[in-house]
Amino acid sequence: MKENKILSENIDLDTMVYQFDFSKNKGNSKFWSESEAELEEAFIKQLSSQGYQYASHIHNIDDMIENLRAQIEKLNNYKFTDNEWKRFQNEYLLREDETFVDKTEKIQKNYYYELKKDNGEYTNIFIIDKKNWTRNSFQVINQFKSKSGSDANRYDVTVLINGLPLVHIELKRRGVDLMQAFNQIARYKNESMSKDDKKIYDFVEMFVISNGTQTKYYSNTILDNAYNQIINEDDQKQKKGLNTFNFTSFWTDISNKHIEDLIDFTETFFQRKVLLNIICKYSVFNSNRKLLIMRPYQIAATEKILQKVDYAIKNPMDNMFKKKHAGGYIWHTTGSGKTLTSFKVATLLKDQPEIDKVLFVVDRRELDYQTIKEYEAFEKGAAQSNISTRKLIEQLNSNLDANKVIVTTIQKLNKLCQDKNYRENKEIFSKRTVIIFDECHRSQFGKFHKNITSKFKNAILFGFTGTPIFKDNANLGIDKQVNAGLIVNSDIPQTTEDIFGPQLHKYTIIDGIEDGNVLPFRVEYQGKFHSNEFPDKQIVSIDKDSALISPERITKISQFILENFNRLTKRTDDKSSLYDYYIQKTKGSNDEGSLVKVEIKGFNALLATKNIEMTQAYYKTLTNLQKDKGESKKLKIAIIYSYEENQGGRDYQTNFDEIDENYESIDNLNLTDKEFLRSAIDEYNKTFHTNWGIDSNRFQGYYKDVSLKMKNRELDLLIVVNMFLTGFDAKVLNTLFVDKFLSHHGLIQAFSRTNRILNDIKNFGNIVCFQNIKKQQDDALRIFGNDKDSQNIILLRPFNDYINGYTDESNHHHEGWNELIKQVLKIELTDFQSMTAQDEKKFISLFNKILKLRNILSSFEDFKKLTVISPYQFDNYKSYYIDLYQKYKKISDNETEKINKDVSFEIELLQQDDINIDYILNLIVENKDKSKQDIIDIVVKKIDSNINLKSKKSLIMDFINKQNISNEKPEVITMNFDINLREHYRNDIIELCERYKLNLQSTTRFLDTAIKFRNLSDEGLPFHELTRKTIADKYPSIRANAQNQSNVKKLKLEIFKALEEIYYKYSNDTREYY
């Protein structure tokens, strides 16, 4: 009773509030009529009332360093001598050679330093106390003035913990787009935060942005991805999706209700203990040296599990480790980051001496590999995997700390419990163990679970699932088994609650979509299932199983896939990139190679089929339909399958999900299926220069390599039966073609392969169905959406709603394409010459809506048929939109006006129809017989309406004016352009070197490398070496003269700006526009 009372009460957790009372602060919100300065003042007063000291005397770096010393001395109860303080800064705290990543590592891992005192003795100096939060000092400052940058910046509000700036807050007045605060912090980062003398703002772990009404938080890694790039071990660079604003987070209570108003947010998030927990306890500094700050639902789930385990430890008389259902389950939607949550749970439990072992159990070997890979990414050596049951036993017997967290498969664990050679190992089964299961809802799990719990008598079990089994969908599975003549074992638990106990926390697909953590789906049915619903779709639907595999049907669907692939995956013919992504090259069957940089545009797809026979039919047909295409035009297609218990497939699913497909059991395939797979893998080997096969080890290597190439979009289309439909995460996957029966959690799992967030271009997952699963879809969304309006949130609306507009359930009208285009066509092009600032803002807002809606509509087949606005007209308006963007960007950079604070642009959405140099050259060739002025007019219009060519306009115009194009062959025009380009490039470098007395060879090498890897940086050794002689010659006594130090910074900035101008002129990097 005591346990039930404590754990069932709706009490606040250590970090999360159970249910926030939104009514209590309604009357206190005075921010509506307040200026940004007044909002700032009210925020600081609220922090002061919560125990923060307002350090009003700190306005610059000297003030901050003086305060830092006092706070570190207070924390450590130690008084530095001046020499000791200087050494502490130079050797540890504020080393000149360190970046924000190094400082993040100090806070997260290396938070104390063994200082050699003046008397020769050593003492540990801490910069933060993670065990006793009350020993840390919390201060708040505002209007801190930076020294560096083209103009000194003033930062709104900063929270100091022990004198270090660990949280920075940027405020905007109500009504201003929150993106403006995000962009302003990114600009500060670019201009001054990492460039001040001490670079002390590199200690900021987390940023908070608010306009009073909405408030969000994010880590310093998210900020760095916004404008800069992260260096990996090979000193190459990675640029993420440009709109990293998508990865900022709302704060919530345990029920996932947003706490957005600044007053409410401050009351909860900025409680001193909560803030320190988020920074220290619920952050992960991973092996790639990136800081991941957990989202509130991840923290809530972690705390609920820790609460259960903590109670069991502190109340041994209740025998919680021996009770059935002492644990519980976490329902977090697929794609919401369950692996990070489970990792944090495991590592926090690892630190508890009362727990002997933590087991993380997956349901098949490929997820074992994937989980260990992800755990290793979070922290090297955090968990151990095992290739055999014997190895698992060794790890369970081991008392080494390194073997405390173990990742294994349920098959190995079941074998341990059942095999007579293992099951008498009483010491293993008596250890106090926490077992965490991940998505174990397949056909054998109920039986396996019973075997495991009968042996592990001293364990608490927890389950993580994105699609729990309830009585409704469990009974549906049972009914279908009974109707099929199967015997149902009533002793095997049927629901998730039967297996694990009560639901501890819930975060549904609706929560994920509303938070922007996963994407909604756009489902289209290709088939004449209901003529009144799908009147225009002509692909034949035949109900009989024998006809589903007919060559005519497979050919028609294959033609549809090939004809619509670019539309659905947002591919284009040109090669300019939306974002950069690392690709890992495998060096051997079990080895991962180095990270390299490539350009990609658009996404890729899965095709899920009914059975192996259908998989083979599609592969043969698609391959044959592409045989006459050039290699660059062919889709790269692969297949993968393994032995199924019922190779004929079946059109129902059990209460524990799909038919198992075990990729270790390739030997059980019949000879025909083996040979077909061998042949397909041979073709794969030819395409990717690999050496995989169908023997056990090489097939496992093939599986891993296919997984890798799907994640990095080297593969265009992967055809599967069941594999890859659960547990596979690839952000570049946006389309699932379905030619099989799916239902319940299997349907949601399969659909969810497409809905990982990446950038603004990927704003939903495409589902294209060739069989009628509409009823199953509706049932699944009803069950797992857990909301009566789930369909309207999880699925995109019909095409006509986006074209003609619609009114939603809240009686809010959403303008359609036709309405928006009519509005923009009312603006004459001559109007732009005399527009007021207010008119410009209205046009920008209108065109933003048009770009966002066009991005949705572009995936609908019927959109290309619309003629409301011609491409020529659209380019005209786009040209003026880009001009206004550059105008307001310049204002923002100079901060000479405030109007830009209310203006935001959807520049990334322009990227999907970039026109590159190759396109322009083709345009010149196509029109070479026209007059030179006509060619110039055509080309200029294209350049002006495409943002990435703005910096190259002078080069292109110079080439057209110099060349006698009409008399030249296409290949000669291209060759001459290349010669002209190289000549201009060299002349620009020579002029730069003469102006700043730089070495020509070194400068050329510096820029060649930057252009090759699409990264230009003024940080690190290459830029220092390039400018060292110039600096030394002009300012030989830098350290002795403070004015010289300032002049050196200005000169370095001037040189870098000149390099930057050449770089953007000749590279494909588009970041100068962001």
Per-residue pLDDT of 187-225, as tens digits, reads 888 777 777 778 899 999 999 999 999 999 999 987 666
- At 353 the pLDDT is 92
d(CA 159, CA 272): 10
- Do the domain assignments include residue 587? no
pLDDT-wise least confident of 116-125, 636-645, 916-925 = 916-925
- Do the domain assignments include residue 30? no
| Residue-level length of the chain | 1074
Last residue of a domain, which of 937, 972, 1007? 972
**Tell me, what CATH number does 211's domain have?**
3.90.1570.50
Which structural domain range is residue 633 located in? 541-575+600-791
| Location of structure tokens 């959403």 | 814
User: Nearest-CA neighbor of 110 among 118, 366, 95?
Assistant: 95
pLDDT-wise least confident of 56-65, 125-134, 650-659, 722-731 = 650-659
Instruction: Quick: pLDDT tens for 68-93.
Output: 999 999 999 999 999 999 999 999 99
- Do the domain assignments include residue 873? yes
pLDDT-wise least confident of 365-374, 864-873, 1007-1016, 1056-1065 = 365-374
- Do the domain assignments include residue 176? yes
Does 823 share its domain with 884?
Answer: yes
Q: Which residue pairs from 424-427 have beta carbons closer than 8 angstroms and sit at least 24 positions apart in sequence?
A: 425/393, 425/397, 427/397
pLDDT-wise least confident of 479-483, 685-689, 762-766 = 479-483
Does 306 share its domain with 337?
Answer: yes
Instruction: Quick: pLDDT tens for 1-34.
Output: 333 333 444 555 789 988 888 766 665 554 445 6
Instruction: Quick: pLDDT tens for 529-562.
Output: 333 333 344 444 444 567 788 899 999 999 999 9
d(CA 398, CA 395): 5
Average pLDDT, the chain: 81
More confident residue, 717 or 586: 717
Domain count, the chain: 5
- Do the domain assignments include residue 490? yes
- At 1074 the pLDDT is 39
Q: Following DSSP, what letter does each residue of 751-789 receive, concatenated?
A: HGGG-B--SSS--SEEEEESS--HHHHHHHHHHHH-STT
Q: Tell me the CA distances in angstroms from 653 to 202, 264, 476, 608, one per residue in order.
A: 53, 46, 9, 15
Does 302 share its domain with 275?
Answer: no
Beta-carbon contacts of residue 532 (< 8 Å; ≥ 6 apart): none
Instruction: Quick: pLDDT tens for 327-350.
Output: 999 999 988 888 889 889 998 999
pLDDT-wise least confident of 304-313, 429-438, 454-463, 1064-1073 = 1064-1073
Does 924 share its domain with 1033?
Answer: no
**AA identity, residue 245:** F
- At 46 the pLDDT is 96
Does 482 share its domain with 495?
Answer: yes
d(CA 520, CA 781): 11
User: Nearest-CA neighbor of 294 among 48, 505, 11?
Assistant: 505
Does 734 share its domain with 870?
Answer: no
Instruction: Quick: pLDDT tens for 653-665.
Output: 443 344 444 555 5
d(CA 1023, CA 1055): 10
Element (H, E) at 332: strand 328-332
Does 150 share its domain with 261?
Answer: yes
CB 796, CB 856: distance < 8 Å: yes
Nearest-Å Rg of the Cα atoms of the chain is 31
CB 222, CB 244: distance < 8 Å: yes
More confident residue, 359 or 5: 359
pLDDT at 583 over 50: no
- Do the domain assignments include residue 800? no
Tell me what the mean pLDDT of segment 234-251 comes to. 58
pLDDT at 892 over 80: no
d(CA 28, CA 6): 33
- At 1041 the pLDDT is 59
d(CA 170, CA 209): 5
pLDDT at 35 over 90: no
Q: What angle do CA 801, 806, 807 make, to 5 degrees?
A: 150
The 8-class DSSP code of residue 586 comes to P
Does 122 share its domain with 253?
Answer: yes
CB 181, CB 226: distance < 8 Å: no
Does 314 share its domain with 371?
Answer: yes
For the stretch 318-337, what's the b/e string if a residue is b when 16 or more beta carbons lie within 10 angstroms of its beta carbon? bebbeeeebbbbbbbbbbbb
CB 211, CB 174: distance < 8 Å: yes
- Do the domain assignments include residue 1022? yes
- Do the domain assignments include residue 811? no
- At 230 the pLDDT is 29
Last residue of a domain, which of 293, 319, 346? 293
- At 528 the pLDDT is 46
405-409 and 357-362 beta bridge pairing: parallel
Question: Residue 114 in 3-state DSSP?
Answer: strand
pLDDT at 53 over 90: yes
- At 260 the pLDDT is 94
Instruction: Quick: pLDDT tens for 1004-1041.
Output: 999 988 887 677 877 777 888 888 888 888 887 655 55
Does 823 share its domain with 942?
Answer: yes
CB 45, CB 56: distance < 8 Å: no
Last residue of a domain, which of 268, 293, 318? 293
Does 274 share its domain with 311?
Answer: no
Highest mean pLDDT among 331-345, 564-578, 952-966: 331-345
The 8-class DSSP code of residue 200 comes to G
pLDDT at 789 over 70: no
% the chain with pLDDT above 70: 79
pLDDT at 614 over 70: yes
- At 910 the pLDDT is 56
Give the confidence band of 607 by pLDDT, cuts at 50, 70, 90: very high
For the stretch 573-597, what's the b/e string if a residue is b when 16 or more beta carbons lie within 10 angstroms of its beta carbon? eeebbbbbbebebbeebeeeeebeb
Q: How many CB atoms lie within 10 A of CB 521?
A: 22
Give the confidence band of 444 by pLDDT, cuts at 50, 70, 90: low
% the chain with pLDDT above 90: 36
pLDDT at 573 over 60: no
Instruction: Quick: pLDDT tens for 937-956.
Output: 888 877 776 666 767 788 88
Does 962 share its domain with 1030?
Answer: no
Q: What is the 3-state secondary structure (H, E, C) of 944-1012?
A: HCCHHHHHHHHHHHHHHHHCCHHHCCHHHHHHHHHHHHHHHHHHHHHHHHHHHCCCHHHHHHHHHHHHH
- At 659 the pLDDT is 43
Q: What is the 3-state secondary structure (H, E, C) of 882-939?
A: HHHHHHHHHHHHHCCCCHHHHCCCCHHHHHHHCCCHHHHHHHHHHCCCCCHHHHHHHH
- At 228 the pLDDT is 43
The two counts, helices (H) then strands (E), for the chain are: 38, 28
- At 475 the pLDDT is 59
pLDDT at 724 over 60: yes
pLDDT at 428 over 80: yes
Give the confidence band of 594 by pLDDT, cuts at 50, 70, 90: very low
138-145 and 53-54 beta bridge pairing: parallel
- The CB-side HSE value for 713 (13 A sphere, CA atoms) comes to 21
